[in-house]
Amino acid sequence: MKSPSEAAATPLTGSLPADAFCPQSRRRFVLIAAILASALGFIDGSILAIATPAIRVDLGASLAEAQWISNAYALTLSALILIGGAAGDRFGLRHAFVAGIALFIVASLACAVAPNPGVLIAFRAIQGIGAAIMVPGSLAIIAKAYPKKERGRAIGIWAAASALTTALGPVLGGFVLSAFGDGIWRAIFAINLPLGLLSIYLLLAKVPADAPADKRSLDLGGAALATLAFGALAYGLTAMSAEGGGHMSGPAIVIGAVLLVVFIFFELRQREPMIDLSLFRIRAFAGANVATFFLYFALSANLFYLPMLLIAGWGLSTAEVGFIFLPLSASIALLSGPVGEWSDRIGPRFPIASGSLVVAFAFAGLALLAHAGIHNFWTGTFPLMAVMGLGMALVVSPLSTAIMTAVEDKDTGAASGINNAVSRIGGLIAVAAMGSLAAWVYSTMLDTNVGSGIPGFGEPASAGLAPELDAARLAASDAAFAAVSIATALLCLLAAIIAWTTISGQALPWSRRAENPQT
């Protein structure tokens, strides 16, 4: 057993396996740092939905500004995540990972002291740039630090810890918001400082620097075009719900669509493109990504707007609403392994299609509850969220399998990165588009203007609002969220159809018996 001084003198490099850069005694620090860094993104993202009503009250943010508080982060993260992964290869994973964490926590501190929605939105965008480097780096550095025979266990620990932080973050955040009031939302961003600094310390003091994998160029032009294209689309869709901004929505959407076409042609001409568009010629790969887009569009829309309905509409406490993320995280954590094994036996098609149908059923149930004005969280909403969690647990692992098995081994890294970006772009477009749908239904149901004193959708009512106006506001809020849930349920149904018709799958046992009665 080594003394502390001898342990401190242990060199960071030495005789290592060919597929690892980090000595065995130092690998646990890589894992801890990756878990802490992942916690930054997972906690920040999941608690924000719970805290949005409080942020709107404290900063006086409109619905469109609330959408951009979420979407500014989602835009830069989704547009730059592939560049972020490539930066790790070019500059070394440790260096890139530390840079991403540092940028993320600096932006988080700026978010914590933001005096108005505009400043918060700007620094959320910078947060997303840091996350675009940090998110792919957390898993990549584990894979590079551990030899292949130990990699699966390390990634399993990382995944379990990530699921735990995703599940408990909103619960704990909800209790804190309930106990300390609306202004405490700033602590959500401030907590990133100690977590991030500890992660950076472990990486710099305990982990050796890895050698860059290659010197390929970064597709900065493609990244800029993607950011502008999706930013314009999100702006146009969000502007539909902004007071006085509707006249800008059409031109912005057209500009976004044109820039998206330019981006595609730009990528086709690049020697080292950010996205290898030739992969979309593979039917199963294209189908799996379209299904991913629709599913994560639906999931993101519901998880963003449901807390608004429950807190601002139904008047539930943030402590209660914090539990809505628990079934999703718990189901994925507990069932992904068994579902993955099942998918390996029968192929990914049936689990993805059936899981998509289960999610569609859950969202349709939420729409019916809201339409009927049933405001019971624990016997109505929460069980349906558990059903949604079961459906997503059936989908997540098989979708990864479908993506990886659709392409050649040499393209699995690129395929995984594209699928990650597609899921985040789905969330970006969902928050923008469904907010406009909710705002339109809400205003149509009220048939009134802002001047009437009724707050906008997802905005808490003032204490002096007349009972008849409050009842009208609640009915309109229910109808607005029901419209979002119906639209997303239909998209999940479409995802199931696309998965069934494009993704490969073996015949199920009962199907084989039907075809061969003698077996």
The pLDDT score that the predictor gives to residue 2 is: 42
- The better pLDDT of the pair 436, 494 is held by 494
What does the pLDDT read at residue 242? 63
Q: What is the pTM (predicted TM-score) of this model?
A: 0.85
Give the domain 282-519 fold.
Growth Hormone; Chain: A; (1.20.1250)
Confidence at residue 244, expressed as pLDDT on a 0 to 100 scale: 52
Query: Which own/partner pairs from 192-196 qualify as long-range (CB within 8 Å, at least 24 positions apart)?
Result: 192/40, 192/44, 192/104, 192/105, 192/108, 192/109, 193/105, 193/108, 193/109, 195/36, 195/37, 195/39, 195/40, 195/105, 196/36, 196/37, 196/40, 196/101, 196/102, 196/104, 196/105, 196/108
Q: Which range, 40-54, 65-79, 273-287, 483-497, is most confident? A: 483-497
Please compute, for residue 464, the number of CA atoms within 13 A of its CA located in the half-sphere on the CB side. Answer: 2
* Exposure string for 498-507, b = 16+ CB within 10 A, e = fewer: bbbebbebee
Q: Could you tell me which residue, 144 or 151, shows the higher pLDDT?
A: 144
pLDDT of residue 489: 97
Q: Is the pLDDT of residue 9 over 50?
A: no
Q: Tell me: the pLDDT tens digits for 181-196?
A: 778 889 888 888 998 9
**Cβ pair 109, 190 in contact under 8 A:** yes
**Tens-digit pLDDT profile for residues 65-121:** 999 999 999 999 988 888 887 887 788 888 889 999 999 999 999 999 999 999 999
243: left (phi over 0), alpha (psi -120 to 50) or beta: beta
Domain ranges for the chain: 19-207, 220-273, 282-519
Cα dihedral 326, 340, 78, 106, rounded to 10, equals 50
Q: What average pLDDT score do residues 362-385 get?
A: 91
| pLDDT value, residue 506 | 58
Cα–Cα separations (whole angstroms), residue 159 to 31, 153, 164, 175: 11, 10, 9, 25
**Angle at the Cα of 133 from the Cα atoms of 214 and 352, rounded to 5 degrees:** 95
User: Are 219 and 274 spatial neighbours (Cβ–Cβ below 8 Å)?
Assistant: yes
Q: In the predicted model, what is the mean pLDDT of the chain? A: 83
Look at residue 325 in the predicted model and tell me its pLDDT.
83
Confidence of residue 7 (pLDDT cuts 50, 70, 90): very low
pLDDT digits 0-9 by tens, 345-363: 888 899 999 999 999 999 9
User: How far is the C-alpha of 213 from the C-alpha of 96, rounded, in Å?
Assistant: 12
pLDDT at residue 143 in the model: 77
Helix 117-145 with 148-180: angle, nearest 10 deg: 150
Which residue's entry shows tokens 């943030």?
318
> Which CATH architecture describes the domain 19-207?
Up-down Bundle (1.20)
Does 282-519 match 19-207 at the fold level? yes
Contact 52, 69 (CB under 8 A): yes
List b or e across 292-305, with b for residues whose CB sees 16 or more CB atoms inside 10 angstroms.
Answer: bbbbbbbbbbbbbb
Tokens of 248: 């800008």
pLDDT-above-70 percentage for the chain: 89
List all residues 6 or more positions away from 263 whose beta carbon is below 8 Å from its beta carbon.
222, 225, 226, 229
Please state, in angstroms and rounded to a whole number, the distance separating the CA atoms of residues 112 and 187.
7
Does the pLDDT of residue 294 top 70, yes or no? yes
Q: How confident is the model at residue 5, as a pLDDT?
A: 37
| pLDDT score at 111 | 94
- Count the alpha carbons within 13 Å of 284 in the hemisphere toward its beta carbon: 19
Cα 252 off chain centre by: 24
Is pLDDT above 50 for 169? yes
What is the torsion angle, in degrees rounded to the nearest 10, for the CA atoms of residue 142, residue 107, residue 76 and residue 35? 20
> Residue 231: its pLDDT value, please?
92
Could you tell me if 483 and 351 are in contact, meaning their C-beta atoms sit under 8 angstroms apart? no
